[in-house]
Homo-oligomer: A and B are copies of this chain.
């Protein structure tokens, strides 16, 4: 398969992604994806043999693209607090998003397919986020903005809270107010108020 076929794969992934965002993982059939791509039944099978294959590629694609939150569009003189606030705001936006989210599909996928940790893109994403948060916290401590005994432990704790909020949002539902309250709790545990 040459370059062209790589383009087609990309095209399929884009179309399929919409389907997964709409229907989650388990409910999606090859037929759904065929229809979303507006290609033929057999045509899809030239590139992918199952929804699982497709979803794994989407997951890899997605987790590659992300984490740019921190690097992108951040002014030079931003304080650690600024960055933390921005990060949490992004997370809030993501977890309150009703549509256009792959989270549900990703969870469903991981329920059904226990990946070895090395190949689990969400594991990588989680660990990376912890690492970045840790550095951020340390820099905040240095600059006197934050108080924190162990940056790594705190970073991890924040991530678990965020995961908890995410799954809560998707299962029992959560109000924006509740999210705000929780994020504030995090911030208050960290930032030194004057």
Please list the residues of chain A having a beta carbon within 8 angstroms of any beta carbon in chain B: 24, 26-27, 104, 106-108, 110-112, 114, 117, 120, 122-123, 126, 153, 156-157, 159-168, 170-173, 181-182, 185, 189
Q: Which residues of the partner chain B approach A160 to less than 8 Å between Cβ atoms?
A: 160-161, 164-165, 168, 182
Interchain CB contact under 8 A, A172 and B111: no
Q: Pull 24 A–B residue pairs with CB atoms less than 8 Å apart, ordered by A.
A: A26-B26, A26-B27, A27-B112, A108-B111, A110-B170, A110-B171, A111-B171, A117-B172, A120-B172, A122-B172, A123-B172, A123-B173, A126-B172, A156-B182, A157-B182, A159-B164, A160-B168, A161-B161, A161-B164, A163-B163, A163-B167, A164-B166, A166-B167, A167-B167
State in angstroms the CA–CA spacing of A108 and B112 once bound together: 10
By Cβ-Cβ distance, the 10 closest A-B pairs, closest first, are A160-B164, A164-B164, A163-B164, A110-B171, A123-B172, A167-B167, A26-B26, A160-B161, A122-B172, A104-B111
Instruction: Pick the contact of A157: B107, B112, B185 (CB < 8 A).
Output: B185
Q: Which residues of the partner chain B approach A123 to less than 8 Å between Cβ atoms?
A: 172-173
Chain B nearest Cβ from A108, distance in angstroms: 6
Interchain CB contact under 8 A, B153 and A157: no
Chain B nearest Cβ from A158, distance in angstroms: 10
Chain B nearest Cβ from A92, distance in angstroms: 13
